[in-house]
A and B are shown apart, each in its own frame.
Chain A
Amino acid sequence: MRNRVHQTFSREIMIRVAGWGLGVFLAGCESDLPPAAQNLPWEVVLTGTNFCWEITDPGRDGKLGTVDDLHLAPPLRLPANIPTRVLLRSRDYLYTFELTALQIKQIAIPDLTYFVEFNSGKPGESEFRGDQFCNNAHNALSGTVIIQSWRDYRRWQAIAETEQQTQR
């Protein structure tokens, strides 16, 4: 058991180092500019599933629906100071998603896609809330929004991508 734990720990360190290195490399590339330069909103997807949110981050290519999409649990991470669009979907129930600081609220419904748009603003943390229309508390539907500088965000993406690939 000790061995397995040690191996896991070592592998995690290697992944993080590799991810950090990749992040530094990407952050240093001139072509890795925020999509704001293209006047397009940065898109992520939140999908309600069994009283939880599943987050789909577009990955390094910045495009949803491609192989490098990241599938994650909250918190929701977003790059700072760019137009942002959070697409809301559901696999089962009817949910609401609310960015309390921005007083934005939207629904998530199976087979349909709704969204909220906003400027992500400065780096920092805020909260989002979720509800399931039934008065029962579903704490997993609420969580934290972490706004990061573009460079930090890209580093995090790189680490997350490496972790995801490893898990596969």
Chain B
Amino acid sequence: MSAETERGLHTRELTVRYGGLVANDSVALDVEPGQVVGLIGPNGAGKTTFVDAVTGFTPAQGHVWLDGLQLDQLPPHRRRAAGLSRTWQSGELFANLTVAENILVAARPGGLRRIWHDIVGTGDRAGRELVERALQVVGLEGAAGTTARDLTLGQQKLVGVARALAGRCGLLLLDEPAAGLDSNESVALARRIRDIAVEGPGILLIDHDMSLVLAVCDVVYVMEFGKIIFAGTPTDARVDPAVVAAYLGVPMESAHA
């Protein structure tokens, strides 16, 4: 199977069960490097479950490959080390750390060997430069010293992206980056996402903001009741009857009768 060796993210037969409920049903999805892929669907369709399954935060069956590495048996932090980065719907920054510390902690996630370095090491110019570069990418220059909880929600989401990009990032999963943002912030975010994709890592974007997804994505997957019901271009998605029905519902004849 080519998915095992190709670059980019590939999932096959990814299935998540909660008790009797099948939250993800044999999902196959591909993200090539440099591509922005959208995953949309009505609330409760299983999109966040999918992100959790790919990144190892919920037990799942099936396969996940990133750049030829099989990740599905690894714990979350090992998947992150392999380049699979994610952001969270609710931001989930480390609220009482500064922006710089939020980014640094992802770039250098500690470990036994780090202790000696902590004791004898001097200065941290490399760290400061790393933080500056990461903040440049998301357009938050100068925010390094701010405590994360004092940022606006929009800024928090951007720091979340910067944190996900720090260190090795081969693929970026954005879980509802636009939720809670106002229209202007959402437009700014769309531009950032496109810029990041140009730089290299593929992006999987999960969002409810249809206009955002349709505007920035090269490919769109639509999920309903845990299944992929559509895969194709954003333009096609907009007019696909199944997609429209999933979002707006079908007219209720009986109620009018």
- On whether the two chains bind one another, the answer is no
Interface residues of A (CB under 8 A from B): none
Interface residues of B (CB under 8 A from A): none
